[in-house]
């Protein structure tokens, strides 16, 4: 598979209104379109320098259906009939771009001409960032947002940094252990630390979490022993922790099913009259599953107190996001009758602020909400995957410049919120965690091999007894073989 996508989205499919304005539009309150001009959106999203914005205009100009252009052109074409708008889009000058609300014919022509582009805006080198909630730019500059913000102490921000560093170190050790044959498989979260730590720290202890198989940072926030996560991937337990102890459900391997589980649990929470919230994590690829659509339907109809947290890391294994959705994922919520918002998934402060607002909204009885954390999977889908076969090194290099941990460190240093002693202490703690994880996995006891036959039936069963005896005989054959070789 080549890196070039034959179904690259137009700018119009990646633009839209974020923040509470989208919330208000979906719930019937006053809202504006809020679609930003392309250069303004790039600046608001923290794209470094004007040069990047200028570079991004050329590919957009080649497509006749992008978002933005001059304000005058936008006003003229919005009111034109479908045929006139289509002709206007086809004859648009090189520097102009059609508005986000172009009619169907114009959009079809835009899709055709967009095939020459490699990725959609915000997905590839030199492209402007999509509109999203951001409180910390890639350069580590603190900015504000009119609808979402947090007021944290220096210690709290230091805590977020520590969480991300330790989570990354644990993830790195797990990947290395898999390469050494200690784990059967591992799904890395590299690059997604801010989305997980920010959202995880926004939750109360009585909130309930339904993860996929990659939420190692959320598990950390819920005080789940990291070595418990390794047990499942080593094949010595079925999860290893009691979900009700930390209100953190077992990892779910089946794609998207946990979103239905979360919705049903949230419906039960509402019937119990509790004021807690439920959050379900899933990826951009899982958004194509029918289970997710069914969960959206039920949650909306029953006004369930659930937050859907989609970590859009750009790739569903080797399939890019544009092959999962014709519109930005967060905009899907509008079709189901609840709000959606896109947040910078590499900005831990923004992820914290948006998730906190969403769960508080759910607790207040205002129903579900969809959060799309726009981030990037820096590593492989799992350790059985080779991402070099389907994506470019340039793409990863661009996203490395938006590293969530480095971004927060720059802010801590520039704002004088942490000194060298703090960073050295976190690094030392990180090394200690690495040693602990290595020792724990190598000394983890194997389970009782015959335990698989226990508790299949309450009163036992003749067929199970027969299978147990056959398996015991099979295992004994290995012991007999070893003893003969020893002689």
Supply the pLDDT for residue 110. 34
Smallest Cα–Cα separation from 383: which of 211, 172, 228? 172
Angle, alpha carbons 350-213-349 (nearest 5°): 10
One DSSP character per residue, 242-306 reads: -HHHHTBPPP--STTHHHHHHHHHHHHHHHHT----EEEEEETTGGGSHHHHHHHHHHHHTT--E
pLDDT-flagged residues of the chain (< 50):
1-127
List of domains in the chain = 152-443 (3.40.50.970)
Residues in the chain: 487
Angle separating helix axes 290-301 and 257-272, nearest 10 degrees: 20
Smallest Cα–Cα separation from 382: which of 105, 190, 107, 220? 190
- pTM of the model as a whole: 0.72
195 vs 452: CA distance, rounded Å: 37
Kindly list the catalytic residues.
377, 381, 390
Pairing of strands 315-316, 319-320: antiparallel
């Amino acid at each position: 598979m080549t890196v070039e996508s034959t179904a690259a989205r137009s700018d119009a499919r990646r633009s839209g209104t974020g923040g509470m304005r989208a919330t208000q539009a979906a719930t019937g309150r006053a809202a504006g379109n809020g679609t930003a001009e392309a250069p303004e959106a790039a600046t608001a999203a923290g794209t470094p320098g004007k040069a990047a914005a200028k570079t991004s205009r050329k590919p957009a100009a080649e497509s006749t259906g992008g978002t933005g252009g001059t304000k005058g052109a936008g006003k003229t074409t919005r009111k034109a009939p479908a045929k006139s708008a289509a002709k206007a889009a086809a004859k648009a000058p090189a520097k102009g771009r059609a508005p986000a609300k172009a009619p169907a014919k114009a959009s079809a022509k835009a899709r055709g001409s967009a095939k020459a582009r490699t990725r959609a805006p915000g997905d590839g080198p030199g492209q402007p960032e999509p509109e999203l909630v951001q409180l910390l730019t890639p350069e580590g500059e603190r900015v504000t947002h009119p609808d979402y913000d947090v007021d944290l102490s220096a210690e709290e921000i230091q805590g977020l940094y520590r969480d991300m560093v330790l989570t990354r170190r644990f993830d790195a050790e797990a990947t290395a252990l898999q390469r050494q044959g200690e784990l059967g498989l591992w799904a890395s979260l590299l690059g997604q630390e801010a989305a997980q730590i920010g959202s995880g720290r926004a939750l109360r202890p009585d909130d309930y979490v339904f993860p996929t198989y990659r939420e190692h940072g959320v598990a950390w926030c819920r005080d789940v022993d990291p070595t418990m996560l390794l047990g499942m991937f080593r094949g010595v337990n079925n999860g290893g922790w009691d979900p009700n102890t930390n209100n953190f459900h077992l990892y779910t391997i089946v794609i998207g099913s946990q979103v239905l589980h979360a919705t049903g649990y949230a419906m039960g929470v509402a019937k119990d009259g509790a004021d807690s919230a439920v959050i379900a994590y899933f990826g951009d690829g899982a958004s194509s599953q029918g289970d997710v659509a069914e969960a959206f339907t039920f949650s909306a109809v029953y006004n369930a107190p659930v937050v859907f947290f989609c970590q859009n890391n750009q790739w569903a294994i080797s399939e890019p996001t544009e092959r999962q959705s014709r519109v930005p994922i967060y905009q899907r919520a509008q079709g189901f009758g609840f709000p959606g918002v896109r947040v910078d998934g590499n900005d831990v402060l923004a992820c914290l602020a948006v998730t906190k607002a969403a769960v508080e909204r759910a607790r207040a009885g205002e129903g579900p909400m969809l959060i799309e954390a726009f981030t990037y999977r820096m590593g492989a889908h799992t350790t059985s995957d080779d991402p070099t076969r389907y994506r470019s090194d340039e793409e990863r290099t661009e996203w490395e410049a938006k590293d969530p941990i480095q971004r927060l460190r720059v802010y801590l240093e520039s704002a004088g919120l942490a000194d060298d002693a703090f960073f050295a202490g976190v690094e030392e703690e990180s090394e200690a965690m690495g040693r602990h994880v290595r020792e724990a996995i190598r000394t983890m006891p194997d389970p009782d091999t015959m335990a698989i036959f226990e508790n299949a039936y309450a009163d036992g069963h003749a067929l199970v007894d027969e299978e147990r005896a056959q398996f015991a005989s099979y295992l004994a054959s290995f012991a007999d073989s070893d003893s003969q070789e020893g002689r």
